Amino acid sequence: MILNIAMDGPVGAGKSSIARAVADRLGILHLDTGAMYRAVGLSAIRAGVDLQDEAAVTAHTRAIDVAVAHSENGQRTIVNGEDLTDYIRTPEVSMAASTVGRYQGVRREMVAIQQRLAATTPMLVDGRDICVRVLPNAPVKLFLTASAEERARRRWLEMCQKGDTTPYEEVLKDLRARDEQDMNRAVDPLRPTEDAVIVDSTEMNFDQVVEYILGIVKEKTNE
């Protein structure tokens, strides 16, 4: 059987780095689905598509080819053959990803690609709708979260290290806006499924979260 692990969670819960560390320890791939929505958002911006225009964004998404490749340095996210990985982490693209993620047609396209990949390859898939939509039958389902203040604090520290001087209050405000949009959209809003294990990392450090999740995986897959 192919080992698939589903992991959801809000902005800044550390999903990507935790998911990557857990996947590495298990010797499986990590699929970052947020990067795919980001790549769609950036591609739409570059094409001059109005992000509030659902029909136009959906048509654009259907017309492009979104692919991922796994390298030594993690996932590369590619649109029409162009590697967009280095351009998708800006605040503008973050919000664009959240906006295009509201649209049913966009989600359908992304979910189909993600399901195709996970069907043939053992992987840990992280995102917002993985437990409910992408991998509803995954043997391990996780919801990784932390308080909004703690998530904003971690994001802010990360930005400070990169020389970004955005004030903490602004980071917290952006994070709450994206939470609001991701949790209240009509299609597959972010929320924990009943069968997901909730991992609240507010009081845990990185290594503790990784070990805790590895313990859950072991327990669930030995059943």
SS3 198: strand
Taking CB under 6 A as the rule, does residue 178 contact ligand DC? yes
- Residues numbered 39 to 78 that lie near ligand DC (CB under 6 A) are none
Strand order in the sheet with 4-8: 29-32, 123-127, 4-8, 140-145, 197-200
Residue 67, strand partner residues: 78
**Nearer CB in complex with ligand DC: 29/97:** 97
Taking CB under 6 A as the rule, does residue 127 contact ligand DC? yes
* Among 5, 6, 7, 11, interactor with ligand DC by CB under 6 A: 11
Taking CB under 6 A as the rule, does residue 182 contact ligand DC? yes
User: Which x/- pattern over 81-120 shows residues binding ligand DC (rule: CB under 6 A)?
Assistant: -------------x--xx--x-------------------
Burial of 168 (0-12, 13-18, 19+ CB in 10 A): middle
* Cβ–Cβ < 8 Å for 56, 105: no
Residues that bind ligand DC (CB under 6 A): 11, 33-34, 37-38, 94, 97-98, 101, 127-129, 178, 182
